[in-house]
Chains A and B, each alone.
Chain A
Amino acid sequence: MQNNFIKNTLEIVWITLVLLTLFAFLLGYLNYISPLVVSVLLVSTFIKGQLVIDYFMGLKDVKLRYRLIPTVWLLTVISLISVAYYLPA
């Protein structure tokens, strides 16, 4: 059973990425964008990026320092985008 789960992990990751993309698209398409929704979108972008880093790039099974480089990159980029979005004019 555990083997099946491991075997299906990639498929679960792919489905999660697809669902989060459709979620972001629907919010944009319906123009349902508020400051709170932007936070949700940025968090969902971080989750998507981290899934790609961990499972597609395969850095989950590599020494932490190599996994941290793209993770820190992603976190920094998304944090700076948040600062630019939320910082008062």
Chain B
Amino acid sequence: MTKQNAIKAPYPPGDFAIWIIIYVELLTFALLFVGYAFSRRADVELFNASQLLLDKTSGCVNTLILITSSYFVVKAVQSIKTITKETLKEANQKASKWLLSAMVLGLAFLVIKILEFSHIFGAGITLSTNTFFMFYLLLTMFHFMHVLLGIIILWNIYQKTKTVGYTSDDHSGIETGASYWHLVDLLWIVLFPLIYIIR
């Protein structure tokens, strides 16, 4: 065990401050997830009937989008971490392409979500329609804000790769942004089956 621990990194990737934020976000969403699950017990029929109004296909497409964009971000980080003096420019360019692809997918997620929201609001549904929709709108809109912030963070990292800003000694920034983006993915991975599928 000691031997195994010796080769393990002492801290998670990126700036440690982002991990404090990640832990707080995990706790906040945990309360909402568990709150939803226990509120459902009070009126299972209402929750099941309301869930039928959601578009499972767009929920699934959005899950695939976030998983894939997270994969692209890992590829960007890998490009930077394997950097050498000779490959500095090439690695930054490669990373910028992965990041751009990840951001495009992030924007696609937002567009699909906006379409879903407009459909829901168009049907006259609001936060006060019933408990299911209160949780649905609260959770998905809160998550939407996180995706938006994640894209802004990725955009800043992208700008730095365009100026060949990352080196083998300085790649903490890209790891910090990537960790936040994976949090957004992790939260949706729990949210999708909970809200859209389980009944």
Contact = CB atoms under 8 A, between A and B. Distances in A.
Interface string A1-32: 00000000010011001100110110111000
Contact of A56 (B30, B60, B74): B74
Contacts, number: 132
A25 B12 contact: no
Contacts of B189: 17, 45, 48-49, 52
A69 interface: yes
Interface in B61-89: 63-64, 67-68, 70-71, 73-75, 77-78
A24 B193 contact: yes
A84 B196 contact: no
Q: Interface residue tally of chain A, by bracket?
A: 35 or more
Interface stretch (B37-45, B115-123, B138-146, B147-155): B37-45
B111 to A, nearest CB: 19
A25 B64 CA distance: 11
Nearest to A80: B34
Interface residues of B, number: 50
Contacts of B11: 62-63, 66
B12 A66 contact: yes
Contact of A33 (B7, B38, B64, B197): B197
A61 B199 contact: no
A44 B71 CA distance: 19
Interface string A30-51: 0001000010011011001100
Given A56-B74, A61-B8, A80-B38, 6 more contacts: A10-B71, A14-B68, A41-B197, A45-B189, A45-B190, A52-B70
Interface of A: 10, 13-14, 17-18, 21-22, 24-25, 27-29, 33, 38, 41-42, 44-45, 48-49, 52-53, 55-59, 61-64, 66, 69-70, 73-74, 76-78, 80-81, 84-85, 87, 89
